[in-house]
Amino acid sequence: MARVAVAIIQSASTGSKEESLESVRRLASRIRGQPDLVLLPEYMMFDPTGMAREEVYRLAEDPEGPTWREFSRLAEKLGSCLLGHLFLRAPTGRVWNAAVLYGRDGHPLGVYRKTHLFDAYGYRESEFTEPGDRLWEPVEACGLKLGIAICYELRFPEVFRAQALAGAEAIAVPAAWYKGPGKEEALSVLARARAHENTTYILLASNAGPNFVGRSMIVHPMGYTLAQAPPWEWTLEAEIDTREVPEARRRLPVLKHVRPELYREATRSYPATTS
């Protein structure tokens, strides 16, 4: 399949789980076409801003819980692959920030647990989130080879380069990008940079809740914006053409020019991380 129809549900989450899920349902009912792939934002179950760890854990769910099943039914109803976002309970008393990819039949194709946590701008996601321990491996999903990264990981080029080298034609990015000076511009710059430097589509599903910027976007492998949503609730629909990926890589063969032997020493000197 060369042409892939994408729908991004730019829902608006609040501290209420039911209100947040109702935003998803309302926007899903507005999809006009027959998308191959539907994307939801990060934090769309509920907005954890200001919540204690115990409250986030209480509102989170176990795998195959009610929200998991609701996304499974939605994928089956739409006949689309669907990337949902969930808070899944971890055995540590914290939660995993998880993206779950469902096939057209509603069965899960895989789960990615966010590996790089947003401990910046005075926010500490690690207070209630357990980091994942491996990157997503791109999979075939409804017409394209799909990679996944989550929100803050847009600031880590290595996450995207690894998936591009593994054959990703598009990388889906659920995000809850907090508002603040320069933040909307940063989101746009980073999404376009990750697309251009890896010659891959970036499919950004960004939360439109009161604390977040919205502005979901679809970026071409050459780094220009094909479609973008406003800051409020929105359903963004567009078509991408996977034939554009090899063409971009022919014109701009950056992936062939990578020289990992030059970077190994630098990566060994990275500071140790804690969580």
Q: Which residue in the list 81, 142, 151, 244 is annotated as catalytic?
A: 151
Query: Catalytic annotation on 81?
Result: no
Query: Catalytic annotation on 142?
Result: no
3-state secondary structure of 162: helix
Q: Compute how many other C-beta atoms are within 10 angstroms of the C-beta atom of residue 51.
A: 16
Distance CA 5, CA 8 (A): 10
3-state secondary structure of 158: helix
**Per-residue tokens: 125:** 């996601």
**Per-residue tokens: 78:** 């739409």
Q: Which residue in the list 17, 42, 145, 169 is annotated as catalytic?
A: 42
3-state secondary structure of 18: helix
CA separation, residue 228 to residues 10, 44, 106, 223 (Å): 11, 19, 27, 13
Looking at residue 228, what DSSP letter applies?
Answer: E
Do 6 and 34 touch, CB atoms closer than 8 A?
A: no
Query: Catalytic annotation on 114?
Result: yes
Which of 132, 130, 159 shows the shortest CA–CA distance to 147?
A: 159
Q: Which residue in the list 114, 130, 233, 244 is annotated as catalytic?
A: 114
Distance CA 99, CA 109 (A): 11
**Per-residue tokens: 253:** 């063969």
Q: Which residues are catalytic?
A: 42, 114, 151
